[in-house]
Amino acid sequence: MTHHTPLDDEQIKRILRGITVPPQPQIIVDIHMEQAMPNPDIRRIGKLISQDVGLAGTILKVVNSKMFGLKNRITSIEQAVQILGLQTLIRITEGLSIKGQMDDETIIALGGFWDSAMDVASVAATIARDIGYQSPDKAYCLGLFHNCGVPLLMQAHAEYQDIMRESYARPGERVIDTENRLLKTNHAVVGYFVAKSWSLPPDLCEVIAEHHSSEDVFRENARASYDSGKKTLLAILKMAEHICGLHKVLGSSDEDYEWDAISHDLLAYVGLSDLDFDDMTARLENIGIGQGGFHDHSA
């Protein structure tokens, strides 16, 4: 795969202008350490980037920008890293680390968000392979970015964590209804605009916008016109969110009301029985992912 010429300062500045989700401080440190090695491993840097919402979003935005003129939108972070080459990656991460100066309180508050994004991404890619979805990369990408509106609202509204807890505690209402009522916006809409600004493929942006309106999509006889590719992606995401216990991590709720409302129709759509889904959940938990896994923030 050909490397492009490293981007100059002006181009890097332009790219970073629209960046809003702050990168995770530890990931930046790890990338800098790898870059300082005598022979930096670009694959390892790619792996680190793919664990962070802000960085991965920026890298995909760059590679999908007009500057590179690629015919197809890229959703594979590894591919994007290969195309950009080491020098450009170093410049982008340095530019972002300066923007990512956050106080400890914000870093702690965002810890659950960062970890959950990685968990949901890994689980989504695994589910995609399990059910024969043709692009596990795309499912990973959706899992990583679907909540990218959360840190923005967290930075804009001091009380956002309380609002999230309230929104997950209401059966019979969408998670975003509480946000709409109290903030006149919600993290799915904000996430949609962030994803668009990162030049993610339109179907991913749309699923991000709709990921808390899934009852309409999966209810029997509902929205027959809904694109089946998007419907499968949305189903993968909702399964991954439930397996990773986002209702606990983000909403501090013991009950996943959203899943209770859609699980029957959603599992029927992807052709899984309750037993199949329980087996899948148990298998993922055995390898350390999901509600019983390594990122248990409910304590």
Q: Check whether residue 207 and residue 72 sit in a common domain.
A: no
In this structure, the answer to whether residues 244 and 120 fall within a common structural domain is yes
Neighbour tally for 174: CB within 10 Å: 20
Dihedral over Cα of 189, 11, 13, 33: its sign? positive
**What's residue 163's pLDDT?**
93
Give the confidence band of 11 by pLDDT, cuts at 50, 70, 90: low
Q: Is the dihedral of CA 24, 111, 149, 119 positive or negative?
A: positive
Q: What is the rounded CA–CA span in Å between residue 240 and residue 120?
A: 5
User: Tens digit of pLDDT for each residue in 160-215?
Assistant: 889 999 999 988 889 999 999 998 889 999 888 888 877 788 999 999 999 999 98
Q: Is the pLDDT of residue 17 over 80?
A: no
Same domain for 29 and 108, yes or no, is no
Residue 31: its H or E element: helix 25-35
State residue 200's pLDDT score.
81
Q: Do 143 and 217 fall into the same domain?
A: yes
Q: What pLDDT does 299 receive? A: 33
User: For residue 176, which of 144, 149, 142, 213 has the smallest C-alpha distance?
Assistant: 213
Residue where a domain stops, chosen among 64, 99, 134: 99
Q: Show contacts of 6-15: CB within 8 Å, 24+ apart.
A: 6/85, 6/87, 6/88, 6/91, 7/62, 7/67, 7/88, 7/91, 9/91, 11/67, 12/88, 12/91, 12/92, 12/95, 13/95, 15/58, 15/61, 15/62, 15/65, 15/92, 15/95
222 & 190 share domain: yes
Distances (CA, A) of 38 to 6, 35, 41, 139: 19, 8, 10, 34
**Cα–Cα–Cα angle for 232, 233, 234, nearest 5°?**
90
246 and 207 in a single domain? The answer is: yes
For residue 7, CA distances in Å to 12, 88, 162 come to 6, 6, 42
Residue that is written with structure tokens 């419907």 in the block? 231
Whether residues 244 and 108 fall in one domain: yes
Chain-centroid distance of CA 144 in Å reads 2
Domain boundary among 99, 125, 151: 99
Structurally, the chain folds into a number of domains equal to 2
Does residue 120 lie within any of the structural domains?
Answer: yes
How do residues 97-153 score in pLDDT, each as one tens digit? 544 555 666 666 677 777 788 889 889 989 999 999 988 888 988 998 899 888 888
User: According to the model, what pLDDT value does residue 105 have?
Assistant: 65
Give the residue carrying structure tokens 């990122």.
295
The span from the CA of 184 to the CA of 21, in Å, is 20
pLDDT of residue 112: 76
Task: Please check whether residues 265 and 139 belong to one and the same domain.
Answer: yes
Are 145 and 85 in contact by the 8 Å Cβ rule? The answer is: no
Residue 4 lies in a domain: no
Vertex 226: Cα angle to 185 and 274 (nearest 5): 90
Q: Is the Cα torsion angle 108, 109, 112, 114 positive or negative in sign?
A: negative
Express each pLDDT in 35-92 by its tens digit: 778 888 989 999 999 888 888 888 888 888 776 777 788 888 888 988 888 877 877 7
Residues 14 and 122 in one domain: no
CA distance 193 to 195: 5
Spatial separation of the C-alpha atoms in residues 17 and 159, rounded to whole Å: 27
pLDDT in tens, 231-283: 999 999 999 999 999 998 888 899 999 999 999 999 999 999 999 999 999 98
Domain of residue 126: give its range. Answer: 104-286
| 144 in the same domain as 20 | no
* Residue 296 domain-assigned (yes or no): no
Residue 273 or 93, more confident: 273
Q: How far is CA 224 from CA 98, 231, 261, in A?
A: 47, 10, 19
Does residue 3 lie in a domain region? no
More confident residue, 140 or 299: 140
pTM of the model: 0.75
Same domain, 45 and 150: no
Identify the domain boundary among 72, 99, 126.
99
